[in-house]
Amino acid sequence: MSVSDPLIKELKGWTRKLIEHAKEITDANEDLRHFCKCLENCLQKDLLPILDSVGYFKPYAWHWLEYIAKKNYNGYNTFLLAVEQVKQNAKVHTPAGRLRLLIRICLVRKCLHMPVEILARIPALATEFYNLKSILGDDILREILLSVLLQCSKFNFKLNLRNATFLDDTWQMPKCVALELVPCKSLGISVWQVFIKIKENRNYMNFIRCLQFYQRESISCQCQ
């Protein structure tokens, strides 16, 4: 009897779609968000509850990813640096946001497979974090996931890692525009009207954040 999981099948499907854009995958790729969300679900599935000083609380994959990074296993410096980059980023504040930013950084640095590879090499470590019937707790499913992530390490991801403000709430990335301005004594930027179309209710918080930002009458800075 073959071992399988619906999330693994879904992840393979999104990976095949990314192959069509293997030359360069950017934030504009419509399949990227679905791939990342599916991978997040794979990492979150059947995590064991964590006990803190107060009691049990909802576990996040970020906790064990940060834990194994602190172990500093040989040959995984790229992953360690990715975790440190997430911890130093002031734009994400929750375990969910840090996990999502870590996934994006690891895609760019081609090290997304490394934490799963560590669990594959040390199966006892996986049982500390996952149910034995989970994707990462089961030896066969873990190897299948590892093979998918190894394939992704061959892709060329060109993502704007500075665009991380909304990752605490959603995988939907707003468009960012970079402006190059000539030196001057003063710079004034005014926004009068902004029209934002809300397609889904879960985007409401993003709408509020954008509205609060754009309602500022003026942003000015003094250049030396």
- Cβ neighbors of 22 (< 8 A, separation 6 or more) are 154, 155, 156
Report yes or no: 166 and 206 within 8 Å, Cβ to Cβ: yes
- Mean pLDDT along residues 42-55: 82
Gap between the Cα atoms of 80 and 97, Å rounded: 18
Domain ranges of the chain: 6-153
Considering only residues 25 and 191, tell me which one the structure prediction assigns the higher pLDDT.
25
**Lowest-pLDDT range of 85-94, 111-120, 195-204:** 195-204
pLDDT of the residue at 186: 66
Token match 């992530």: residue?
149
- Cβ neighbors of 128 (< 8 A, separation 6 or more) are 48, 64
Gap between the Cα atoms of 51 and 166, Å rounded: 28
**Lowest-pLDDT range of 37-46, 92-101, 209-218:** 209-218
Gap between the Cα atoms of 46 and 106, Å rounded: 22
**And the tokens for 32?**
């990227």
- Name the pTM for this structure: 0.79
- Mean pLDDT along residues 72-77: 91
Question: What are φ and ψ of residue 10, in 5° steps?
Answer: -65, -40
Three-state secondary-structure class, residue 220: strand
Considering only residues 85 and 223, tell me which one the structure prediction assigns the higher pLDDT.
85
pLDDT of the residue at 213: 46
Gap between the Cα atoms of 159 and 109, Å rounded: 10
Pairing of strands 219-222, 56-57: unpaired
Report yes or no: 172 and 44 within 8 Å, Cβ to Cβ: no
**And the tokens for 179?**
């402006």
The predicted-structure confidence for 135-179, as pLDDT tens digits, reads as follows 999 999 999 999 999 999 999 999 999 999 999 999 988 887 777
Q: Where are the beta strands (DSSP E) in 93-218?
A: 157-158, 186-189
CATH of region 6-153: 1.20.58.900
